Amino acid sequence: MKIRYFIISALLICLLVGCTKDISQLKTDNSATTKPQLKQIDTIAPNTHVVYDENNPLTILDPYSDTWRATDSLGRTLPLNTEVGKAKSDKFVGLFFWTWHLNSGSRAFNNTEFIKLNPDVKNDYSFKGWGIGRVHFWDEPIYGYYTSKDAYVYRKQAELLAAADVDVIFFDATNGSSTWAPAYKVLMEVFSKAREQGVKTPQIAFMLNLFTPNPDTTIALKQLYKDIYKVSKNQDLWFYWDGKPLIMAYPENLDLSDATQKEISEFFTFRPGQPDYKKLPWMDNQWGWLGIYPQQKYGVNNGKVEQMTVGVAQNWQKDVGLSAMNGENIFGRSYSNKNGFDTRPDAKLYGINFQEQWDYAIAQDPEFILITGWNEWIAGRYKDWMGVKNALPDEYSDEFSRDIEPTKGELKDNYYYQMVANIRKFKGVREERIASAPTTINIFNNTDQWANVQPEYKHYEGSIPIRKELGYGVVMLKNNTGRNDVVSSKVTYDNDNVYFMVDTAANITPKNDPGWMRLYIDTQSQDDKNWEGFEFVVNRVNPGDKATLEASTGGWNWEEVGKIDYTVLGNRLQISIPRQMLGLTAKSPEFNFKWSDNMQEEGNIMDFYVNGEAAPVGRLTFHFQSEKANVKQNSITDNPNFKIIVISACIVILGGVLATLIIFKKRKK
């Protein structure tokens, strides 16, 4: 009996110790994050390691973009907290990014449009229609055939990537020793300015030679260290891993007897790039940049995966391996390892290859996912490459390309929203913000009645940049459509009306301006009478004494619902809409909305990416919700107190057993 008491007592002591330890950890470490969070850091001496300043975090406007909503052209909606769970602080996403579009003297050549007219010449190198001295784009970017010195494009990209919650972009410097300094200098200036305006732009890092340590890598490392890192240039943009600036490069060729090269070897966290799509990494600290399904796992330690890749498409053929994008049976956008090639005419729109890789990577739960890619756009054309005639190795057409950035062609912005959706699945999102109590607003009263109305829908100042930059073919790309810069909006309601308020950075322009201060409303109706999901629009017709509310009869066709009140005072526009007109008669209204100013191409939602103001950008919308939705019910094991609960239960059970034995013994005596 004494042995039995001893065993039970020992178990109780162990459980109590374990419980105390878990409680202590719960108090001191809520994040369970093994990688440092990105912080604003003080200027440091160039020869020292970077040390984080924990008390000086980045000051960034938080527009709650992870709760913005969107429906793409295929009807796919972005997942919310109720579907993907709470935001995680220990997951990171990188994006392969190209900065070498600098050849503005050559004409752009659109392969996709050319192939539609000439479907039988893809392997005919001598066909004169291919032209000489042309730059082969797989399609036209949404911003036109731009170069990598176009500040307007970088400012637009900054907002798109911030809304997607991309943590870092990796500049492609994998060919030779060139780092494309003229381009990255413009980008860093634009991103730093955007950060001053509140945009949480991605951080930056570089990807150098992928294959083996060689002199080119050393040359590039020395240049980057001299131009950026040693002089602490745009230090707030650097991406850190294991406490140091991250670089995907091989350090083995550095000469440690040279003082500068020794500094370089100690300054960075190195993750050499693994070039092969299929082979296992041959070094413990390698990271991948692209792979075929199922993708490789990099940096596996005690079952934890450090990094994996996700790609849109791969220039790979099942029986041959590496091949040009215009070869036979290439793993294009509509290829699936599980199901083969999707033969539907519009299969390229759905991103089957992309989704299959995302699903696999998310299931492995790595710390970091690198996506290939954003904006490669062009590829050289060769007489013969990897056995393919008239070869275009990396990009060929809308099907056989691997870019996500929106296009003017058939793919539009589908891949952007697919990327956003999967980043949300990987990293989680925050819960929706709930509206404050209903408030009646007298929009004709000049006093501020909005101070206590929440939430505030913030938007980035500076999102309407002026453009004047040479593109490919010495074509001047211009845009000066930016006019009213939306910086804040609020919404409230009472029994009769819904009230909207919007503030701009400067005084609002006259109401007779074309495309003036439009408000789009999506009531989330199941009716098919809408334009890109929006059932209603205000100010499509310029207002007079009153504004006009219109309803879509299907597409960009509108009919008047009624006249509504509005006021403009300085930089503020207020609108009052009867709830009955919107069909929002339920006790707790809920809807999506967005602001637009100076649309140029009526009825084309892609116009929201390039012209005037759109808040938020593209198809994204703000969401108004007046009561809390049902949140995702996670497994009980997701509860951070789960272990404590189990231990406590065990203590109670064992205590009961011990008490029973004692009572039984006493009775026996």
- Domain range for 13 is 2-30+643-668
Query: Tell me, what's the pLDDT at 665?
Result: 54
Model pLDDT for residues 120-130, shown as the tens digit of each residue? 999 999 999 99
With respect to residue 58, please indicate whether it lies within any of the assigned structural domains: no
Query: Tell me, what's the pLDDT at 17?
Result: 39
Report the SS3 class of residue 312.
coil
pLDDT band at 443 (very low <50, low <70, confident <90, very high): very high
Q: Give CA separation, 525 vs 522, 529, 536, in Å.
A: 8, 9, 11
Could you tell me if 282 and 423 lie in one domain?
yes
> What does the block give as tokens for 648?
């406590």
Model pLDDT for residues 359-398, shown as the tens digit of each residue? 999 999 999 999 999 999 999 999 999 999 999 999 999 9
Q: Give CA separation, 349 vs 340, 342, 400, 532, in Å.
A: 16, 11, 12, 17
Q: Which residues of 476-492 are buried (b: 16+ CB within 10 A; e: fewer)?
A: ebebebbbbbbbbbbbb
Q: Is the pLDDT of residue 654 over 90?
A: no
Distance CA 69, CA 253 (A): 48
Query: Tell me, what's the pLDDT at 655?
Result: 55
Query: Tell me, what's the pLDDT at 105?
Result: 78
Q: Give CA separation, 422 vs 86, 113, 163, 363, in Å.
A: 14, 30, 13, 12
Query: Tell me, what's the pLDDT at 628?
Result: 74
Query: Tell me, what's the pLDDT at 59?
Result: 62
Nearest to 206 by CA among 216, 195, 221: 221
Q: How many CB atoms lie within 10 A of CB 161?
A: 26
Could you tell me if 280 and 139 lie in one domain?
yes
Query: Tell me, what's the pLDDT at 656?
Result: 54
Secondary structure element (H or E) that encloses residue 590, with its range? strand 590-597
Model pLDDT for residues 555-572, shown as the tens digit of each residue? 999 999 999 999 999 999
Supply the CATH number for residue 383's domain: 3.20.20
Model pLDDT for residues 502-553, shown as the tens digit of each residue? 999 999 999 999 999 999 999 998 888 999 999 999 999 999 999 999 999 9
Compute the average pLDDT of residues 405-424.
98
Could you tell me if 290 and 316 lie in one domain?
yes
Could you tell me if 258 and 337 lie in one domain?
yes
Could you tell me if 386 and 470 lie in one domain?
no
Could you tell me if 467 and 358 lie in one domain?
no
Please check whether residue 170 is in contact with residue 248, taking contact to mean a CB–CB distance below 8 angstroms. Answer: yes
With respect to residue 608, please indicate whether it lies within any of the assigned structural domains: yes
Q: Give CA separation, 244 vs 41, 241, 270, in Å.
A: 12, 6, 9
Could you tell me if 492 and 544 lie in one domain?
yes
pLDDT band at 581 (very low <50, low <70, confident <90, very high): very high
Compute the average pLDDT of residues 345-349.
96
Bridge partners for 498 per DSSP: 493, 577
Query: Tell me, what's the pLDDT at 615?
Result: 98
Query: Tell me, what's the pLDDT at 27?
Result: 32
Could you tell me if 166 and 74 lie in one domain?
yes
Distance CA 576, CA 581 (A): 11
Could you tell me if 391 and 479 lie in one domain?
no
Bridge partners for 130 per DSSP: none
Q: Is the pLDDT of residue 210 over 50?
A: yes
pLDDT band at 39 (very low <50, low <70, confident <90, very high): very low
Could you tell me if 619 and 651 lie in one domain?
no
With respect to residue 446, please indicate whether it lies within any of the assigned structural domains: no
Please check whether residue 427 is in contact with residue 165, taking contact to mean a CB–CB distance below 8 angstroms. Answer: yes
Percent of the chain residues past pLDDT 90, beyond the cut:
80
Distance CA 420, CA 401 (A): 19
Round the average pLDDT of the chain to a whole number and report it.
Answer: 88
Percent of the chain residues past pLDDT 70, beyond the cut:
85
Check: pTM over 0.85? Answer yes or no.
Answer: yes
Q: Which residues of 590-621 are buried (b: 16+ CB within 10 A; e: fewer)?
A: bbbbbbbbbbeeeeebbbbbbbbbbbbbbbbb
Query: Tell me, what's the pLDDT at 651?
Result: 52
Q: Is the pLDDT of residue 45 over 50?
A: no
Backbone φ and ψ for 425, nearest 5 degrees, come out as -65, -35
Secondary structure element (H or E) that encloses residue 23, with its range? helix 2-28
Nearest to 299 by CA among 314, 278, 310, 283: 283
How many structural domains does the chain have?
Answer: 3
Q: How many CB atoms lie within 10 A of CB 319?
A: 7
With respect to residue 637, please indicate whether it lies within any of the assigned structural domains: no
Q: Is the pLDDT of residue 33 over 80?
A: no
Q: Is the pLDDT of residue 4 over 80?
A: no
Distance CA 257, CA 262 (A): 7
pLDDT band at 341 (very low <50, low <70, confident <90, very high): very high
Query: Tell me, what's the pLDDT at 30?
Result: 32
Distance CA 306, CA 273 (A): 14
Report the SS3 class of residue 567.
strand
**Can you spell out the DSSP letters for 511-535?**
TTSTT-SEEEEE---S-S--BTTB-
Compute the average pLDDT of residues 619-624.
98
Distance CA 571, CA 584 (A): 28
Alpha helices in 280-389 (DSSP H): 352-364
With respect to residue 550, please indicate whether it lies within any of the assigned structural domains: yes
Could you tell me if 420 and 468 lie in one domain?
no
E strand spans, 37-176: 92-97, 107-110, 134-137, 168-172
Model pLDDT for residues 634-651, shown as the tens digit of each residue? 333 344 444 444 444 445
Q: Give CA separation, 203 vs 195, 234, 400, in Å.
A: 11, 10, 29
Model pLDDT for residues 234-284, shown as the tens digit of each residue? 999 999 999 999 999 999 999 999 999 999 999 999 999 999 998 888 888
Distance CA 290, CA 313 (A): 9
> For the packed helices 352-364 and 414-427, what is the interaxial angle rounded to 10 degrees?
10
**How would you class 643 by CB atoms within 10 Å of its CB: exposed for 0-12, middle for 13-18, buried for 19 or more?**
middle
Please check whether residue 111 is in contact with residue 391, taking contact to mean a CB–CB distance below 8 angstroms. Answer: no
Distance CA 42, CA 155 (A): 25
Q: Is the pLDDT of residue 612 over 50?
A: yes
With respect to residue 436, please indicate whether it lies within any of the assigned structural domains: no
**How would you class 164 by CB atoms within 10 Å of its CB: exposed for 0-12, middle for 13-18, buried for 19 or more?**
buried
With respect to residue 370, please indicate whether it lies within any of the assigned structural domains: yes
pLDDT band at 103 (very low <50, low <70, confident <90, very high): confident
With respect to residue 510, please indicate whether it lies within any of the assigned structural domains: yes
pLDDT band at 13 (very low <50, low <70, confident <90, very high): very low
Could you tell me if 333 and 461 lie in one domain?
no
